[in-house]
Structure 1
Amino acid sequence: MAYYGSIEAGGTKFVCAVADEELKIIERISLPTTLPEATLAQVFTFFDAYELKALGVGSFGPIDVNRKSSTYGYITSTPKPGWKNVNLLGALKERYDIPIAWTTDVNAAAYGEMHLGAGKDTQSCIYLTVGTGVGGGAVVNGTVLQGFSHPEMGHISVQRHPEDTLESTCPYHDHCLEGLAAGPALEKRTGLKGQLLEPDHDVWAVEAFYLAQALMNYTLVLSPGKIILGGGVMKQTHLLPKIRESLEQQLGNYVALPALEEYIVGCDLGDNSGTFGCLLLAQEQYA
């Protein structure tokens, strides 16, 4: 029997899975992201045990998604040691002569959530992960959003909270969303990881302000049917109501939205959003 394969290639770990025609996961493993040669050797060992008919890959970025580019399929300007300008798609194609879908990890997660998770009642959604970094993917009218490049929603510029003097944790930008709202920014402000902070700590109002500001910008540009939030920081369940409240204040009734409890939601698929998105994209490649 032939299977669909999924690779969620993250900066910390590679999650690989195979599934049957009904997308029932047969096996799923998590491998540490070390150097490319060693990581890919483990990926190949896993998939070589199966007959694959198509593969979906959602990778950490930035990546090249422009099919006309000489570096299509590459991980490009990542700060991840050893992974800059790595031809990940090329290495997979050399090993497996099958159709392979190629996009970002967050685009894959958005696709998975839209079809099988929190966004399955819509054809347009945004998935934003807030953890060690901030990344966002979008599905517009049922299609993953990418053009010359792909969305980099974590690096949009945001206005600073009036009481925030933190030096950005992003090495590229002084006031981008990731530099001011990712997990390392929370820890830099407080000396504690987010999961150790009390729900009533003042820093959560600052965090909600930045995330709501970003969601307002995404809303005004893309007008998605739903915005889905995931990642380690969003496991603090008290944060979601604070974000909705701040979004309502910052929008100032300028545009009409669905009820915010239905518009800004957590993810339904948990840590499997990207895996299911990759499997769905693999299935489409094969069709």
Structure 2
Amino acid sequence: MIVGIETGGTKVVCAAGRAEAPDRPVLTRRFPTTDPDGTIGRIRDFIAEAGADEPVEAIGVASFGPVDADPSSPRFGWITTTPKPGWADVDLLARVNPEGLPAAFVSDVLGAAVGELRYGAGRGASSLAYATIGTGVGVGIVVDGRPIGGDGWPEVGHLLVRRHPADDFAGSCPFHGDCLEGLTAGPAVLQRWGVDASSFPPEVRDERLSILASYVAQMAYSVALTVGAERVVLGGGVMLAPGLLEATRAALPDLARGYGPASLSSRDPADVLVAPGVEDSPGVVGAMALAADLLG
């Protein structure tokens, strides 16, 4: 039996299943993310439940962060400088896995990138980025099948972007103001316009979607240029706004202007920028897949 754990800022998803089928868990539990003691206690209860009939052989954790996911670091498995109250400098991996079982530890978006590459919208690609545009902005990257990550990086959510000419919003990021997260995350949308992106009035919807799309497309273009991602999966609550994915696809060719890897210069943007393909919690599916990898 293997266990995958996806800890998010608002909820935790735990799943257990067979190493040969990480995308088909046989047991799943969801519960709110509260304080570390209460949340980790419920995760430990799930692991005990999953191993009641046969032992758990490996664990995968995909966590909100920033996290230290560098196996050579003395703080490997820690949540580090998160603004979530009570969670900064928590040794998450050691606390959910005191038995020292074989364990993988990555960021939540990197777990989702692995899940989407192997079992979702990234199937057939070798390199992929998964971006969540929601309460925050995070991007996980897999290059040539290898998850990329370390001590708090990559941190594409704080990429500096060109301002849209119709956007005078100062930005909501407490560190950078108008970085990608400060201009596109859910709190930024609410501060700028007073409603979420799915509730824009019809008379202003197109302009507002165009503003958001320009920033998301810049992120996708930057990732493709930097790591050669063949596909960028766009998830998160903001991307559920009707028309935003299509607007982002429409903005990509004007950015690329025919320059860049083949994924940008010769392919339909609808094949490059895609919605998630894993129906439920790609992060926990990726965490289970990484746990299965540890067993060969």
TM-score scaled to structure 2, two decimals? Answer: 0.92
Contact preservation (8 Å) 2:209, 2:243: no
How many Å apart are 1:148 and its aligned residue? 5.0
Name 1:233's counterpart in structure 2. Answer: 238
Please give the residue correspondences for 1:63-78 in structure 2 after superposition, counting only pairs within 5 Å.
63-78=67-82
Match of 1:126 in 2: 129
Distance 1:115 1:50, change over 3 A: same
Equivalent pair of 1:129/1:231 in contact (CA under 8 Å): yes
Instruction: Quote the Cα distance in structure 1 between the aligned partners of 2:59 and 2:189.
Output: 36
Partner of 2:106: 103
1:268 is the counterpart of 2:271? no
Per the TM alignment, residue 149 of structure 1 is displaced from its structure 2 partner at its CA by 4.2
Other-structure match for 2:58: 54
The aligned counterpart of 2:142 is 139
Structure 1 residue aligned with 2:210: 205
Distance 2:186 2:266 in 1: 29
CA distance, structure 1, for counterparts of residue 243 and residue 165 of structure 2: 22
Q: What is the one-letter code of the residue matched to 1:285?
A: L
Mapped partners of 1:215, 1:239: distance in 2: 14
Q: Structure 1 residues 163 and 276 mapped into 2: Cα distance closer, same or farther (>3 Å)?
A: same
Whether the aligned pair in 2 keeps the contact of 1:129 and 1:229 (CA below 8 Å) is yes
**Contact 2:68 / 2:79 at 8 angstroms: preserved in 1?**
yes
TM-score normalised by structure 1 residue count: 0.95
Q: Secondary structure at the match of 1:175?
A: coil
Contact 2:27 2:50 in 1 (8 A): no
Q: Determine if contact 1:73/1:90 at 8 Å carries over to the other structure.
A: yes
Instruction: Give per-residue Cα distances to partners, 1:116-173, cap 9 Å, x unaligned.
Output: 0000111110100111111100100001012454211111111211121212111111
- What whole-Å deviation, never above 9, does each CA across 1:7-46 have from its counterpart, x for those lacking one? 0011111111111242321121111111100111111111
Percent of matched pairs sharing the same residue? 37
- Separation in 1 of the partners of 2:285 and 2:131? 16
Verify: 1:85 aligned to 2:95, yes or no: no
Q: Which ranges in structure 2 are unaligned for 5 or more consecutive residues? A: none
How far 1:110 sits from its partner (Å)?
Answer: 0.4
Match of 1:155 in 2: 158
Change (3 A) 1:46 1:131: same
Q: Distance in 2 between matches of 1:203 and 1:114?
A: 31
Whole-angstrom CA distance in 2 between matches of 1:14 and 1:172? 27
| Code of the aligned partner of 2:271 | E
**3-state DSSP of counterpart to 1:128:** strand
Q: SS state of the match for residue 62, structure 2? A: strand
- 1:50 Cα offset (Å): 2.2
Conserved? CA contact 1:59–1:103, under 8 Å? yes
> How does 1:170-185 map onto structure 2 within 5 Å?
170-185=173-188
> Counterpart of 1:208 in 2: which secondary structure?
helix
Q: Which letter does structure 2 place at the counterpart of 1:8? A: E
Q: For the residues of structure 2 that align with 1:149 and 1:235, how far apart are their CA atoms? A: 27
Query: Quick check: 1:105–1:274 contact (8 Å CA) kept in 2?
Result: yes
Are positions 1:280 and 2:289 aligned together?
yes
- Tell me which moved more, 62-71 or 103-112: 62-71
Structure 1 residues 271 and 182 mapped into 2: Cα distance closer, same or farther (>3 Å)? Answer: farther
4+ long deviations beyond 6 Å: none
Q: How far does the alpha carbon of each residue in 1:247-280 deviate from its partner, in whole angstroms, 9 at most, with x for none?
A: 1111122232421111111111143211110110
Preserved contact between residue 257 and residue 263 of structure 1 (Cα < 8 Å):
no
